[in-house]
Structure 1
Amino acid sequence: MKKYVSLFMVAMLVSIIAACSQGASNVEITIPASFLEGEDVESAIEEAKAEGIEEVEENEDGSLTYIMSKSTHDELMEEIEASLQESIEEMKTSEDFVSISDVSANSAFSEFTVVVDQEMYENSFDGFAILGLAIGGLYYQLFDGVDPEQYAVTVQLEDEQSGEVFDTITFPDALEE
């Protein structure tokens, strides 16, 4: 459970919604102001620089633009992918999410299939694990250059007994409901 809370917090701190544009040697990621609400902007800037972000610009609309080298961006993407893979493995083996028996994802982390004991799942808090997957997937996509207007994560919940998908959740739409 700690991994998912940590992943969620990292995603919020570094801010999920980002627009990436890749130059010849630099990558720019703009963090919308809406994801900085309640955050100390100076602390966010300090944290970004501590993570290897070369330059952080505060924009007039309250957003922040992170400018980093392509190599720093590549390292960041590798770290995000490794963290997601680790979370997936932990989710499959952890006693915290007893209804979940398997999790798979596509290479873009835009689609996940979670195999569960449906009855146990519906009577537990294991849905929080799904939220962690979705946030991680959105975070990965946005830092990978997906347009914030186009990014999405689809999670299919499959019953382990019948093999049938009993629910499909699409993020970020589900967060707005």
Structure 2
Amino acid sequence: MKFFILSLLPLNMMFMKSKHPLSMSILLMLQTIFTAMIMKNMQESFWYSYILIILMMSSVMTMFIYMTSLISNMKTNLNLSFLMISLLSPILYTNFFYNTCESYNFMESINMKIYYNMNKMYMLNKSLTFLFILMFLLLMMIFINKLMNLKMGPIRKINDKL
């Protein structure tokens, strides 16, 4: 858990410094993955984190395609030393302060806890959230299918002939 939280800090700093859509989308995807891991540890089920990943990745990919069609010739400036320091510092910190005296029984109890908490997802108070997410995904799929009309073509034509 500490590793994921500590990994979000350098990703946020790199996101603020980046100017290219490719680097921004990669950083957003990494942040989404780390946030999903944190959500899994807090909620003890991967269901909502999977939905978060699906929604965020699809929106990031759509925005990346649109932005790269507009800014196709922009070069990236990658500072490799800053990248290495920011990505390795949470790993080194976690390895240095990690307590290795966890036992096998503790891990087994966590696995059983996850198994029993999967049933809580379909309880009455969480079913509204579940249905809302399903309806949202269905509506987004319908809207995207309506927008993607083959006769209309892309938003911006690349090779316009006069």
Q: Report if TM-score (shorter chain) is over 0.5.
A: no
Higher strand share: 1
| TM-score of the aligned structures, taking structure 1 as reference length | 0.25
| TM-score of the aligned structures, taking structure 2 as reference length | 0.27
Structure of larger gyration radius: 2
